[in-house]
Amino acid sequence: MNPEEFKVQLASMGIELSDHQMQQFNTYYQMLIETNEHVNLTTITDESAVYLKHFYDSITPAFYDLSLQNDHLSLCDVGAGAGFPSLPMKIIFPNLKVTIVDSLNKRITFLQNLVDALGLDGVELYHARAEEFGGKKSKHREKYDVATARAVARMSVLSELCLPLVKVGGKMIALKAAQAETELENGNQAIKTLGGQVVADEEFSLPVSDDKRHIIILNKIKKTPKQYPRKAGTPNKKPIGESAK
């Protein structure tokens, strides 16, 4: 998917990109590749693959949740790495107020340079572990309208990293690949325990590659119990509902 095909494909979904936005994506690509030579940001470096599997893929939640396109939402992107999915969405939908949390400071440095180069307003970056960022004494706990995550962890773990950050009435959106049904089944107890409820599992294929994708949307229907998230590393070692297995 070259840049022009990227633009055409998004237009077919009702999303029109300006010349300025196309230039922002070009700058994003150039900085990603340049920085990737000395900081491990991505194994995908071919331009057409970056536009498809990073940029386009990051925008797909907005196909299924139109509030991302239209509403003034606070969005926390957990473990965003090189800025996916939040920054491609922010370029297209400036109505989003984005907070990114990532555990590696080198990635945060890259993201700060990128945000400055792209001229994006309303983006905050934090070097932190998600478990601490959403902890019971954190000012970020249950503050956000939306929490997103892409390629971070399976649902039983991801729910404990993301749902504590979402306010009651907000939502968590997970970008997943092929094993989503199994992950949801195994993560069901964790989702309920943490105050979430599954409201959608949208399955589709990426254009060109036909790679399978899922957009999983959870509503936050009640407060997360104070004992969650547990200390850093514990959710991954002992996922809720899976620890006895």
Q: For residue 67, is it left (φ>0), alpha (ψ between -120 and 50) or beta?
A: alpha
Query: What's the CA gap between 120 and 116, in Å, rounded?
Result: 7
Binding site as annotated, residues for S-adenosyl-L-methionine? 79, 84, 130-131, 150
Q: For residue 175, is it left (φ>0), alpha (ψ between -120 and 50) or beta?
A: beta
Phi–psi pair at 39, nearest 5 degrees = -130, 130
Binding site as annotated, residues? 79, 84, 130-131, 150
User: Residue ranges of the alpha helices (H) in 77-146?
Assistant: 86-92, 105-118, 130-133
> Which among 82, 67, 68 is positioned nearest to 28, based on CA atoms?
82
Q: Burial letters for 136-154: b for 16+ Cβ neighbours within 10 Å, e otherwise?
A: eebebbbbbbbbbbbebbb
